[in-house]
Amino acid sequence: MWSGDPAIWSWRAPNLFPIVGALADDMLVHEGRRYPIKQHGFLRHSLCDIVTREPDACAFRLTDSEETKAQYPFAFRLTIAYRLVDDRLECSFTLHNPAATPLYASLGAHPAFRWPLTDALRQAHAILFARDEPEPIRRLSDRLIDPAPVTSPVEGRILHLRDSLFDDDALIFDRLVSRKVTFGAPGGPAVELDFPDFPNLGIWTKPAGCAFPMHRTLAWDGQSGGI
């Protein structure tokens, strides 16, 4: 995984809640009131409570507070659990709504990986999707999603990586068919990500840097549940 080098990108694998991306003017409007909230929300800046701690697993919890309600006027309980299983890291999210009214939220995981993974050339790396991805994708305009779709750069199941792909920021797949991708170069190690319950995928890199974050988003309608 990415080292978190602050000279390039200081994060490693932040989780994003209650928004993924940014809102217009960094402002959430609910029932006529305005709440200032920064890009990707407050979870990645919050200190969570430890729920469980085992040799191969742990879980953390964040609940609403006066501080969160100043940005996001909803009650919630979010639990994030990690477990090592052989050579895999499993991560699950459970978002509970304690209120009788809908809970509007987006939830994203944003793990980052080295690009290149080894000594292979950057341009030798690709992302292999589980299925063909012919549908148009979205790009960003001034940090917000541009409503006009653009042609997908995926060729069949393969996205050949090059820095110029990210001249206009992230690639946003909001008509995604696959729920698994593999990142790597021929003959070298690879990273496989499975996300069966996340409908969208974003892929991004720092310009000419080594961080290669992927983030996956899931919108909730106020029902409690787990991923």
Average predicted confidence (pLDDT) for the chain: 90
Q: What is the pLDDT of residue 212?
A: 52
Q: What is the Cα–Cα distance from 38 to 40, expressed in whole angstroms?
A: 6
Q: List, in order of start, the domains of the chain with CATH numbers.
A: 12-111+213-227 (2.70.98.10), 116-209 (no CATH)
Q: What is the pLDDT of residue 136?
A: 98
Q: What is the Cα–Cα distance from 137 to 139, expressed in whole angstroms?
A: 7
Torsion angles phi and psi, residue 28, rounded to 5: -95, 130
Burial (CB count within 10 angstroms: exposed 0-12, middle 13-18, buried 19+), residue 126: buried
Burial (CB count within 10 angstroms: exposed 0-12, middle 13-18, buried 19+), residue 25: exposed
DSSP string, 152-194: ---BTTEEE--GGGGTTS-EEESS---SEEEEE-TTS-EEEEE
* pLDDT digit string, tens, across residues 117-137: 888 788 899 999 999 999 999
Smallest Cα–Cα separation from 145: which of 199, 213, 221, 200?
200
- Under the banding of pLDDT at 50, 70 and 90, the label for residue 213 is low
* Mean pLDDT, rounded, for 168-196: 94
Provide the 3-class DSSP secondary structure of residue 75. coil
Smallest Cα–Cα separation from 119: which of 41, 191, 32, 184?
184
Burial (CB count within 10 angstroms: exposed 0-12, middle 13-18, buried 19+), residue 63: middle
Q: What is the pLDDT of residue 8?
A: 85
